[in-house]
Amino acid sequence: MTQSRTFKVGILSSGRFLTKCVGLISVIVLARLLTVHDYASYRQTLLAYAFAAPLLALGLPQALYYFLPGESKRPRAVLVENLLLLSFMGGLFSLFLLLGGNRLLAWRFNNPDIARTLLVLAPYPLFMLPASALSACLMARDRVKQISIFNVLSRLFMLAAVITVALVWRNPIAVIIATVAGTGIVFLPALKLMFDSCSVGSLLPSATGMWAQLKYAVPLGLAGMLGTISLSLDKVIVSSMCPPEQFAVYVNAALEIPLIGILTGSVTAVLLPDIVKLYKKGDRAEGLRLWKRAAAKCSMIILPVMCFLIVMAPEVIRAVFSAKYTESVNPFRIYLLLLPIRTVTWGSMLMAAGKNSWILYKTVITLILNLILSIILVRQIGYIGAVLATVTVIYVWNIPFNMFAISRLYNVPFWKILPYGAFLKIMLIAVFAGCLCMGKTYLSTSNDLVRLVVIGPVYTGTVLILMLRFNLLKRSTLIAALQRIRF
């Protein structure tokens, strides 16, 4: 990546990282303030929207990456068309909840209490879906800093609102009310930012423009929907087949590490437009080179994070969610086995080649396999079977398909698709440093937070020293990265 790309990734990643941290703090505080049952009700309520959101969005936010770059005549109309379609889909889900869908979902999730919280959630899609276009819109108009600033400030506002309400009224209904109200408030500045970035042309939408966006977005949206459903399927199955208290234990184990998705998502957002241009020009080798270089850089963070969290999983879970969620440790460790494949964003290479239909095919098969295997394993061994099914399907089916597709589209053999040598060296370093973490048993304190504070810097320092020693990381690169973080 050139310096400008690296700078954009740094800015976008830092903003998304702070945003995820704020969201994680919210979950941590609520897990401690609410009872296990009320916490499960809160998470199940938001899961209902998160599960439906990809279907409702139809890939429309991602369509702005394609239609807005280089658009000089009618960018405002393109944005309006996108927002109208998203608002319409949000209205459909709101009506579904108001007309009895809340009771249907409450029955399916084995929790009658969420019938009321889902009713309160009804206005949420009307704000959240149109606001989901913000990142793609501003990225397409090259306004990276504005995305980061808005995301951080809006999430801080949401955190303050939700935690304040939870401290006064310790029940899930009050927390959902605060979530909906806060989302409605931050939606207004989001709209302003989007229209400020698209200040040229008429506001009048056209049926032709809306149809063009739908044609591009629907295959991608269906793939995204099925992919998200596949990744959330284990939570839905556990919610449907297990008591709410077991769901609360499981959903904490399925914790999204803030740094990981942010890093790879930011890299994709920055690189995808360039890879698309290179593929259209016929320079597929250069597009693959950019992708591999980004994968190597991401692995320098993701693989060490995985090894550290596997070793320190008991301390992390107890420090974050309290000792009442200790049973989350084992599923949490199994989930961490998915991190190596997060060093790359497989779908971006297929999107750049215009093979959205391939992504759809892959995710349909993934969903079906995950559904069948999850149901079988949950019935046999309980909620731990859901995460085992997810990891198995990803490694046995999803990754081989991606490897085959990229090999064919970019005319490269399997052994040249990924920077395997860099991956192996970084993994060996991370494992060695992880072995040092086992010395935690010799610490005089049993306080989980103190253990993490002591072991964390030792582990990080060991990894950095070994990466510098074996030329995986240059001193100048490390200094530049620290300067960007400080900036």
Q: What is the mean pLDDT of the chain?
A: 82
Amino acid identity of 58? L
The beta strand positions in 214-316, using DSSP E, are none
Q: How far is CA 270 from CA 2, 143, 189, in A?
A: 11, 11, 24
How far is Cα 430 from Cα 303, in angstroms, rounded to an integer? 7
pLDDT bin (cut points 50, 70, 90) of residue 270 is low
| Structure confidence at residue 3 (pLDDT) | 44
- With b for 16 or more beta-carbon neighbours within 10 A and e for fewer, the 447-472 pattern comes to ebeebbeebeeebeebbbebbeeeeb
pLDDT bin (cut points 50, 70, 90) of residue 230 is low
Residues 411-447: pLDDT tens digits?
Answer: 888 888 888 888 899 999 999 998 888 877 777 777 8
Residue 231 has pLDDT above 70, yes or no: no
Burial bucket for residue 73 (CB in 10 Å: 0-12, 13-18, 19+): exposed
> Cβ(20)–Cβ(159) under 8 Å?
no
Compute CA 197 distance to the chain's CA centroid, rounded to the nearest angstrom: 25
How far is Cα 126 from Cα 438, in angstroms, rounded to an integer? 49
Q: What does the block give as tokens for 166?
A: 């939870």
How far is Cα 55 from Cα 345, in angstroms, rounded to an integer? 21
Least confidently predicted of 109-118, 184-193, 201-210? 201-210
CB neighbours of 269 closer than 8 A, spacing ≥ 6?
Answer: 12, 135, 139
How far is Cα 203 from Cα 418, in angstroms, rounded to an integer? 45
Domain limits of the chain?
1-205
| Structure confidence at residue 95 (pLDDT) | 93
CB neighbours of 462 closer than 8 A, spacing ≥ 6?
Answer: 432, 433, 436
pLDDT bin (cut points 50, 70, 90) of residue 234 is confident
The CA radius of gyration of the chain, in Å to the nearest whole number, is 22
> Cβ(302)–Cβ(223) under 8 Å?
no
> Cβ(203)–Cβ(80) under 8 Å?
yes
How far is Cα 280 from Cα 410, in angstroms, rounded to an integer? 12
How far is Cα 315 from Cα 329, in angstroms, rounded to an integer? 9
Among residues of the chain, what percentage have pLDDT more than 90? Answer: 14
Residues 71-129: pLDDT tens digits?
Answer: 677 888 888 888 999 999 999 999 999 998 889 888 888 888 889 999 999 999 999 88
| Structure confidence at residue 177 (pLDDT) | 92
Mean pLDDT comparison of 32-36, 173-177, 382-386, highest-scoring range: 173-177
Ordered DSSP codes for 119-150: HHTTTHHHHHHHHTTHHHHHHHTT-HHHHHHH
